[in-house]
Amino acid sequence: MFTVLFFHHVGSSRRPVEAEVLTKDSVTIMVDGVVYYRVFNPTISITKVEDANRATQMLAQTTLRNMLGTKSLADILLDREEMAEHMEVVIYSASKNWGIKVERVELKDVKLPPTLQRAMAAEAEATREARAKVIAAEGEMKASCALKEAALVMSESPAALQLRYLQTLTEIATENSSTVVFPFPMDLLTSTMKK
């Protein structure tokens, strides 16, 4: 006895090919699937079915399309192993009457259409940009809260404001800058504008 290998698709049973499947959420995907099986009762496999190999292939293709058609794209991408195990049980339950033992089923590859790949990439980029904006906004909010607290502390002590002013002048001087900043009291500006 030997194990036979074939790929899910109408065509040659010895080379990898793709099967097109429509998922539950109406996404068309290409799937490579492989079935390993062997004939455990040659007499039954000849007398019960006209072509046991072809029948097993057709059963596997139908099972693949039916099963993936009930799953969303996300389910298919996440649960390939679980689906392969379930397919193995379903195929064997039918093929055992033909003297065929399904040993293993694998869903090798799931390919998305290029348009969907581009749409998913654009969505992921938009999500990243939105997350970056939220993080920047949170940083601005924390900075404004810190400035508010600093302003409250400085308003309670005029000397603290003068020390901060001198510290700023020192920082400007160390940069060899020709810019000099003189604070202008807002109270004076307001009283001048009222006159």
Nearest-CA neighbor of 64 among 98, 100, 112, 29? 29
Q: Is the pLDDT of residue 101 over 70?
A: yes
Q: What is the mean pLDDT of residues 96-114?
A: 84
Instruction: Give pLDDT, residue 4.
Output: 52
Nearest-CA neighbor of 6 among 98, 95, 106, 93? 106
Contact at 8 Å (CB) between 19 and 61?
A: yes
Q: Is the pLDDT of residue 82 over 50?
A: yes
Instruction: Give pLDDT, residue 189.
Output: 61
Task: Tell me how far apart the alpha carbons of residues 8 and 16 are, in angstroms, rounded to a whole number.
Answer: 8
Q: What is the mean pLDDT of residues 105-134?
A: 84
Dig out the tokens for 124 from the structure.
């992921």
Nearest-CA neighbor of 40 among 100, 98, 94, 102? 100
Instruction: Give pLDDT, residue 147.
Output: 85
Task: Tell me how far apart the alpha carbons of residues 98 and 96 are, in angstroms, rounded to a whole number.
Answer: 5
Instruction: Give pLDDT, residue 133.
Output: 92
pTM of the entire predicted model: 0.53
Q: What is the mean pLDDT of residues 90-118?
A: 84
Q: What is the mean pLDDT of residues 34-49?
A: 85
pLDDT tens track for 10-24: 333 333 434 677 888
